[in-house]
Amino acid sequence: MYSECADCPSRGFPGSNPWSAPGTASSLDFEMPPGILGVCGASPAADINYNTPSPFGVFGAAPTIAYAPGEVIDVAWCVAADHGGIPQYRLCADEGLVSKVTTPGYAPSLQELEALEACFQAGLLRCDAVDGQDCGQVQDCAAHPDWEACADPGEYLHCFDENGTGEKAWACVNTDETCAHGKIQRNKLKIPEDFPPSNHTILSFRWDTYENNEVFVGCADVSIGVAAAGTAPPNPPPTPQPTGAPDFATPEPTEPAGAAEGLCCFWTDTGDACDCKSPAAPDEWCAASEERCVGCGGDWCDGGGGGSPVPAPVPAPVPAPVPAPVPAPV
């Protein structure tokens, strides 16, 4: 997929790639095995469509952290394949639109996802909203200040290897910290002062790449203005069903789980998945195989199901949301 604007096709490499006109590359209807990419993505490995709440608790069930209007927050993501470009974090103030992806059993239409994407694009969290943040631009902007990515300095978070930690001039990695699949990029964002209180909303992530013609997306469950910052609100009320939405039951896994000779771990304080503090329950979908575990974001321990009782899950510490980018293959 490529950036779509009047002169985008004539910009050549890398100008025709999604980064030069952020948000214009058509990605919502990209077909993935579990469903279209949409605004929150889909995982072929885990067979999960993230544009509807996961029946396995991976996404959409409840906020994992609370923020306050006007708060400056830290975000991070694990860069597995650094394509450079422009990572965007967005909020949508229209709870009716957000509920299209947070209502259990409801499958949003492409038109509803398009409306939600437009709302997210209008709610971009600007780089320069955080005092003192480095909002430098990729070097191509010097020659093309009229390109959408360059025309408003401070609007976007550009990947340009400001700390010299990447292998390319347009590297997104800006720390020496490692993660499960690569290195970490960290940024600061400011929640708008006037963002309306919400028991459960979505922090949207969209990465329009520089080096490749790809778009990656993800969503994180948060609440804003309803509890002290840094703590999830107790027992958030369910999101209202969108008008006209069918009252579907939450789908069940299509295959029996729990037969795998292993353990799927979501949190360990030792780095050893076999010394797990928060394992998936044996009957959960993610625990059925190593492939499913990794697709759910866990780490696999071989032999975890070979006779020793699986410990009762212990809630993991509330993490800062780290949206997991979902690739849109060329």
0.85 exceeded by pTM: no
Contact status, residue 170 vs residue 209, Cβ threshold 8 Å: no
Gyration radius from the chain CA atoms: 20
Q: Where are the beta strands (DSSP E) in the chain?
A: 31-32, 35-36, 42-43, 48-49, 66-67, 72-79, 86-90, 178-179, 182-190, 198-208, 215-224, 262-265, 299-302, 326-327
Read out DSSP for 298-327?
Answer: -EEEETTTSSSPPPPP-PPPPPPP----EE
What are the pLDDT tens digits along the chain (330 aa)?
788 999 999 999 999 999 999 999 988 988 877 788 999 998 877 778 889 998 777 788 889 999 999 999 999 999 988 999 999 999 999 999 999 999 988 999 999 999 999 999 999 999 999 999 999 999 999 999 999 999 999 999 999 887 777 778 899 988 989 998 889 999 999 999 999 999 999 999 999 999 999 999 999 999 999 744 444 444 444 434 433 333 333 333 333 333 467 888 766 667 788 887 667 767 666 678 887 777 666 788 987 443 333 344 434 444 444 444 545 544
Break the chain into its structural domains and give their ranges: 8-236+320-327
How are beta strands 66-67 and 215-224 bridged, if at all?
parallel
